[in-house]
Amino acid sequence: MSKLERLESFIRTTDEFGNWNAYVGKDRTKLTRKKVLEACSFPRSTLYQTPEIVERLALLESDLLRRKVLSAGKRDIEMSTESEVEAALDGLGMRVTSLRTAIGDLHKTLSVEFDKDFEIHHASVSPTEKDVQLPLGSPKKERQKTGKVSVEPMLILIRGVPGSGKSTLARKYKDHVHLEADMFFKKGEVYVCDRKKLPEAHQWCLDATNEALAQGKKVVVSNVFAQASEIQPYVDFGYPWKLVEAAGRWMSTHDVPEETIERLRSTWLSRAQIINEINVHSSVSFTSRE
């Protein structure tokens, strides 16, 4: 195998990390975080979308670009000495290996941190008998005797700003049907948001939730739920419900501008404030007391 063939073989084997040309194209000046992440064929998970991971992926993109430039300069490569080519291959190989290790370690760390956060949030909103409020229709005798009822929530509502980990948190509830307004804009693996259709998307989510609950299924809904008025229609279905707060700080998977997210955070109502504004007597509710 010639020096050029060895170099091209190296490029092919190490380029398994992503098909850069398919996503980025020839104009490298248009490289974005989203394109880098997509090119690396990583799952579309908030766990990967951090400045640290993007920085490491950008380094890999730089290495891959240099290798493609090298392979294009056949004359220069053929004129290189055997030792120069071998040294270049060794150096690139070590950098790619090191980068893969770093990405793997970062993924493990982020996964552990997220699971830890989830357990904290989950524990803080786990239903206890003292947190259960009786609906108006509960028998008077039962009210006088216990002042509480033991009911498992059928409906879990997860609220949080974009990038707070709502969808990832929702997937923790394995035995629940997961619904969110964003699903309205997803066709297969492609997500295209049309802000003009947001009311239609939320109505679709509400109707789908009602239908699933009517079939006896447990449902988890992950939407922003910034206002009590957005939660009230779900409460009005009359099923036992629980409100969960997602408070992570990951990158939004739908490229919501940071200024929009910060504006939401600045006016964000606490779970206690939301609960106080909801007509909780329309159903049994499970909430943590803050």
Give per-residue pLDDT as tens, 43-68.
444 434 444 454 555 555 555 555 55
> What SS3 class is residue 153?
coil
CA dihedral 2, 8, 12, 13 (to 10 degrees): 50
Residue 237 pLDDT greater than 60, yes or no = yes
Where is pLDDT greater, at 124 or 246?
246
pLDDT mean over 142-148: 40
CB 155 within 8 A of CB 219: yes
Q: What is the pLDDT of residue 145?
A: 40
pLDDT mean over 8-17: 47
Residue 217 pLDDT greater than 90, yes or no = yes
CATH 3.40.50.300 domain span(s) along the chain? 127-286
**Cα angle, residue 38 at apex, residues 27 and 103 outer, rounded to 5°:** 110
Q: What is the pLDDT of residue 241?
A: 87
Q: Which of 130-139, 230-239, 274-283 has the highest mean pLDDT?
A: 230-239
Q: What is the pLDDT of residue 70?
A: 52
The model carries a pTM of: 0.48
Domain 127-286 superfamily per CATH = P-loop containing nucleotide triphosphate hydrolases (3.40.50.300)
Q: How far is CA 284 from CA 23, 124, 133, 153, 280, in A?
A: 49, 18, 6, 8, 7
Residue 160 pLDDT greater than 60, yes or no = yes
R_g (Cα) of the chain, nearest Å: 26
H helical segments located in 126-193: 140-145, 166-170
Q: What span, in angstroms and rounded, lies between the C-alpha atoms of 260 and 278? A: 25
CA dihedral 192, 197, 199, 201 (to 10 degrees): -40
For 169-178, 180-189, 252-261, which range has the lowest pLDDT when averaged over its residues?
252-261
Where is pLDDT greater, at 175 or 279?
175
Q: What is the pLDDT of residue 42?
A: 42
Find, among 80, 93, 82, 83, the residue nearest to 15 by Cα: 93
Q: What is the pLDDT of residue 180?
A: 94
CA dihedral 150, 132, 281, 205 (to 10 degrees): -80
Where is pLDDT greater, at 165 or 112?
165
What average pLDDT does the chain have?
63
pLDDT digits (tens, 9 = 90+) for 74-113: 555 555 566 666 666 666 566 556 655 655 565 555 455 4
